[in-house]
Amino acid sequence: MFSKLIKLLFAITAYAPIILIWWFVSLFNIFKSGGKLQIIIFDDFKILDLCNRTNLIFLFLLLVFFCWLILHLAKTNLTRNNIKIKSIKSADSNINILVFSYFFPCIEIYKKDTIFIVGWILALAIVIFINKNTYFYNPLIKIFGFRYYEISTKNEVTYLMISQDKLINPNDINTYSQLTDYVILNASK
């Protein structure tokens, strides 16, 4: 299993699409007000330049890269354990509700001032910290071609399994790698 820092980073990558929406909203506001885009100029770089909302695209790309890297490291470096599956069912059916509730607060971002956005980010940080060891939904994983499954082992333990393969038969799954306490990656081939 990954270290606490990697698990926390993996949970944070789930918010990359919100960063992307925030960036689009910022661009919309700039164009709407007749302003100009300001991208980081590395010749005269200051840390405060990162606070410019037009630079959020760099944070989004960084989070996408970290998500991909963590999944790649999980597939290649994590210990593979044997598992006996009792039942399996798709967990993707709940995704539409999660996506709607996930992005709903983003609708109002462009109307709010900075204090609202900072408060919202702090609230998200608290949610990430509380949920880092539980089930979580990461839209980037779906973009990378993975599917979510809820599995029960013969020992009556329930996990959320992430797999690139379409899983129907519980006998097709025999090994896994553990990402977090309740999220595992299908390592069967």
Mutual orientation of helices 4-12 and 56-77 as an angle, nearest 10°? 130
Per-residue pLDDT reduced to its tens digit, 17-62: 878 877 777 777 766 777 665 555 555 555 554 556 667 788 899 9
Residue 159's closest CA among 138, 130, 180, 182? Answer: 182
Could you tell me the residue ranges of all domains in the chain?
4-186
Per-residue pLDDT reduced to its tens digit, 119-168: 766 776 666 666 555 556 778 888 888 888 888 888 888 888 889 888 88
pLDDT over 70 at 112, yes or no: no
Dmax (CA) for the chain in angstroms is: 62
To the question of pTM greater than 0.85 for the whole model, the response is no
